[in-house]
Chains A and B, each alone.
Chain A
Amino acid sequence: MTPEQTKKVRCAIIGPGNIGTDLLYKLMRSDVLEPVWMVGVDPSSEGLARARDMGLKTTAEGVDGMLDHVLDDGVQIAFDATSAYVHPENSRKLNALGVLMVDLTPAAIGPLCVPPVNLARLAGEKVMNVNMVTCAGQATIPMVNAVSRVQTVDYAEIIATVASLSIGPGTRKNIDEFTRTTSNAVAKVGGAGRGKAIVVVNPAEPPLMMRDTVYCECAEEPDQQAITESVHAMIAEVQKYVPGYRLKNGPTFDGRKVAIFLEVEGLGDFLPKYAGNLDIMTAAGARAAEMFAREILDGSITLTPIPAEEAA
């Protein structure tokens, strides 16, 4: 039932909007991933038409429209760029066919994944669903971790400012979930005792590039040199998949407080460059999938279908 062995893992994108389309551009460049399906719900969607032009199979009937083809087409990884409300059902159906889900919605039914912090560990845990947190989480959690791996962080607080044009109606309507999911991940994945996230939407024209500020309150006097080195090393890690991830200022130190000021410029694949918040999500999703794909290709992990009744 497996198709002839290729050196790439085949994948599907659910949700042909801005995120799904930007992700498609990134997957087209991957050495280990091959996008073969784009799934939507609107036959007149521009995103579906664009994916078809790029040689993908498409359906406008949601995940159900692809299910019969998953095994024949050898789809092993699916990215969900729809919404937190439909993700659990999408995940259940595809997990049942042995497809690993990379969740770009705030549903967070699988473990939270921030690639430079915990991807390697998750890849070793045979998970079938990983959640990519939020854009604010992807931008800031690596920095919280850069401090917490040096010394104990009692409290971490992040402020993410995004351009008004880069934040869609779904996030606006559910800004509370966005704020809470990020706060939770700042503590849990970043490695801080407590976490807090603040989100600001700025309408300036021309649009502002995504800005993120990370404050960490250490348990003891911060080791300035060790933290500074750790921050620079982590910046370099993130730059491997988001080249426009930059340290604008800091780290500065004030008592037990460490402040780090970041800017995230997107690659401009499909989305404008100022939308670094969206770019870091698609780049992190692609990065996570590539790590899993390498392990699938070298045989170190095997995806196991989760029977529907168990997943429910």
Chain B
Amino acid sequence: MVQTLQGMPTMQSQIAGKSVKLHDMSLRDGMHSMRHQIPLAKMVEIAKGLDAAGVPLIQVTHGDGLGGSSLNYGRGLHSDEDYLRAVVPQMKNAVISVLHVPGIGTLDELRMAADCGVGCVHVATHCTEADVSEQHIGLGRELGLDTVGFLMMAHMTPPEALVEQALLMEGYGAQTIYCVDSAGYMLPDEVTTRVTLLRDALKGETGIGFHGHHNLGMGIANSLAAIAAGATRIDGSAAGFGAGAGNTPLEVFAAVLERMDVKTGVDTFALMDVAEDLVLPMMPKPPRADRDSLTLGYAGVYSTFLYNAKEYAAKYGVPARDILVELGRKRMIGGQEDMIEDTALTMAKERGLIGHNGAPKSKAAIEA
């Protein structure tokens, strides 16, 4: 064991020799970067590349999960079913997973995904609302899926409260519980605290996962901290494709883990090639910590709000950063994309940038 001069264990001494399962998000969280417009053939090509590189789990869904295709979150170029039916049969070893958010996706949609042959589901709720997931986790198990409880925006609740929510999900049947840094806000010590408490409280056979965003550039460091504290599943995405400044870049993380003697079963060079040759060319603007993405991480705002905020900033003349900070101040959570235009309109009116509602108004309405 390598020790520092102070006798403190090094990061490497805490994680060397461990086995970690990597879960690629480029075809789900990355859908946000592409406004849910990934062509079918491209989806299949990337998934095949990831499979060949040895990535064991690959998520394929609309960015907001099953049923996410909507006016609120953006319509998908194809339906979840079309994507899944195209990708699943092409996999040699990788298991395809789906994201499922109770309140957005229905149980029928989860049944459809299982029928398409997916093997894993992430059932996601806000970090304090685990009790809306009972039906969905229950159905995931009933369908024989590897069922994960996915606690989003985990920075918004104290670590002890997060543990209580995790125990609820475990009680409903979740086999793995994730600490999800949806806002890319957490720093490594915050991850350590949460994952350590989860590891202590949950059953030995329950796995722990971590899903990071790179808004503060902490995706890699936070994921290492999670492994050191007991996480065995880490989400990332090829070329860092994902909401906000993207997810933990998976090929970078695989390289780091290889150097730190953590077993992933992934061929790092093959994964680099997928990122470079297949994923990167698709992106008009690769995700990076520009001032708006950085603001998400700095202010603790849901990463998928980024593109809508930029869009309404352009439409109503209020800077995206101001809109995002205001959404954070109002403690808006994942799913509330509708409040971005609403907030932009209210701010634009307050600043005198637009007339009533930014839309022409009839005389009768003014008098009413």
Contact = CB atoms under 8 A, between A and B. Distances in A.
B361 A200 contact: no
B359 A213 contact: no
A198 interface: yes
Interface residues of B, number: 42
B94 interface: no
Contact of A204 (B330, B345, B357): B330
B126 A232 contact: no
Contacts of A229: 362, 364-365, 368
A249 interface: yes
A250 B345 contact: yes
B93 interface: no
Contact of B365 (A169, A172, A175, A228): A228
Contact of B103 (A179, A228, A248): A179
Contacts, number: 122
Nearest to B348: A249
A304 interface: no
Interface in A160-176: 161, 164, 169, 172-176
A252 B126 CA distance: 29
A259 B341 contact: yes
A211 interface: yes
B346 to A, nearest CB: 6
B303 to A, nearest CB: 16
B70 A201 contact: no
Interface residues of A, number: 42
Contact of A202 (B331, B338, B364): B331
Contact of A176 (B72, B107, B334): B107
B72 A215 contact: yes
Nearest to A235: B368
B189 interface: no
B184 interface: no
Of A174, A200, A215, A257, which is in contact with the most chain B CB atoms at under 10 Å from its CB?
A200
B135 A176 contact: yes
A164 B102 CA distance: 14
Contacts of B70: 157, 196, 198
A253 B134 CA distance: 38
B360 A198 contact: no
Contact of B72 (A159, A236, A248): A159
A261 B349 CA distance: 14
Contacts of A203: 126, 128-129, 156-157, 333
Nearest to A224: B360
Nearest to A253: B359
A261 B361 CA distance: 15
Contacts of A179: 103, 106
A253 B359 CA distance: 7
Interface in B300-340: 330-339
B131 interface: yes
A60 interface: no
Contacts of B8: none
A172 B137 CA distance: 13
B135 A173 contact: yes
Contacts of B156: 203
A249 B345 CA distance: 7
Contacts of B160: none
Which secondary structure dominates chain A's binding surface?
strand
Contacts of B276: none
B72 A213 contact: yes
Nearest to B153: A203
Contacts of A252: 341, 345, 357-359
B103 A257 contact: no
A180 interface: yes
A142 interface: no
B143 interface: no
A164 B361 contact: no
B109 to A, nearest CB: 10
Contacts of A261: 338, 341-342, 345
A176 B335 contact: no
A170 B79 CA distance: 31
Given A180-B106, A203-B128, A252-B359, A198 B72 contact: yes
A249 B171 CA distance: 42
B5 interface: no
B282 interface: no
Contact of B342 (A172, A180, A213, A225): A213
A198 B357 contact: no
A107 interface: no
B1 interface: no
Nearest to B367: A232
B77 interface: no
A161 B72 contact: no
Contact of B104 (A198, A228, A253): A198
Contacts of B333: 200, 202-204
Interface of B: 67, 70-72, 102-104, 106-107, 126, 128-129, 131-132, 134-136, 156-157, 330-339, 341-342, 345-346, 357-362, 364-365, 368
Given A175-B135, A249-B346, A250-B345, 7 more contacts: A155-B71, A174-B135, A176-B106, A201-B129, A249-B342, A252-B345, A261-B345
Interface of A: 155, 157, 159, 161, 164, 169, 172-176, 179-180, 196, 198-204, 208, 211, 213, 215, 217, 224-225, 228-229, 232-233, 236, 248-253, 257, 259, 261
